[in-house]
Amino acid sequence: MTSTPSRLLAAARAAAAATLIVGAPLALTGCGYNEFQSLDEQVNASWSEVLSQYQRRSDLIPNIVNTVKGEANFEQETLTKVVEARAKATSIQVTPELARDPAALQRFQAAQGELSGALSRLMVVSERYPQLQANQGFRDLRVQLEGTENRITVARNRYIKSVQEYNVLTRRFPTNLTAKVFGYEVKPNFTVQNEAAISAPPSVSFDKPAPATAPATPAPAASPASN
């Protein structure tokens, strides 16, 4: 027959276990653990969308380049820069670690910004070719590119906001204590100002400079009249 002290000890252990079972989720919720899980998933989803839109743009470029090549005397330097910028952007290996490495994210952003700039210049230069502007295939590709650029902007803004919310939770008390316990660190983010400067298209003027006028040659001095 079980003694009274043994029954009391067993009851105490059962009560403690029940308290842990009920209290643990409440404690994790109060310390922000569940919020970390939610925001981390949100950041990952936003990052995936950014990559998807950049890939969509990259897939459009070969068709755009091939269409433009059909235009006689199109500026080869402009096409070459687009092809080189695309090659540079796609050469960066996209891994889950990339978004967590500030230096790698900066290189990725710079490469995508250079590609944006090269494409912007291509669109500007193409305006001087009426036959190209009349090409229905080129017009369709241009519309697709513009739509993709808009989606890139939306996806990047969502990612920036998601990372900001996650980083605030990581730094804020008392959830910063949870971050330390579970190893949640501040995530690097896109820098909007830097990419805006990189992707700004150069100013292009199609006006031919006026020919330089040669300086007027001074008239020879008149010889003194002879008496």
Instruction: Decide: 112 and 145 in contact? Cβ < 8 Å.
Output: no
pLDDT score for 84: 97
Does the pLDDT of residue 178 top 90, yes or no?
Answer: yes
Directed axis angle between helix 33-69 and helix 4-30, to 10°?
30
pLDDT tens by residue, 77-136: 999 999 999 999 999 988 888 999 999 999 999 999 999 999 999 999 999 999 999 999
* E strand or H helix at 227: none
What pLDDT is attached to residue 6? 63
Instruction: Label residue 29 by pLDDT band (50, 70, 90).
Output: low
For residue range 183-219, what is the model confidence (pLDDT) as tens digits? 999 999 998 654 544 444 443 333 333 333 344 444 4
Structure tokens at 66: 């091939």
pLDDT at res. 225: 45
| Rounded-to-integer distance, Cα 35 and Cα 175, Å | 9
- Give residue 216's pLDDT: 45
Please name the residues in contact with 92: beta carbons below 8 A apart, sequence gap of 6 or more.
98, 104, 107, 108, 111
Give me Rg for the CA atoms of the chain: 32
Q: Say how far apart CA 147 and CA 108 lie, in whole Å.
A: 21
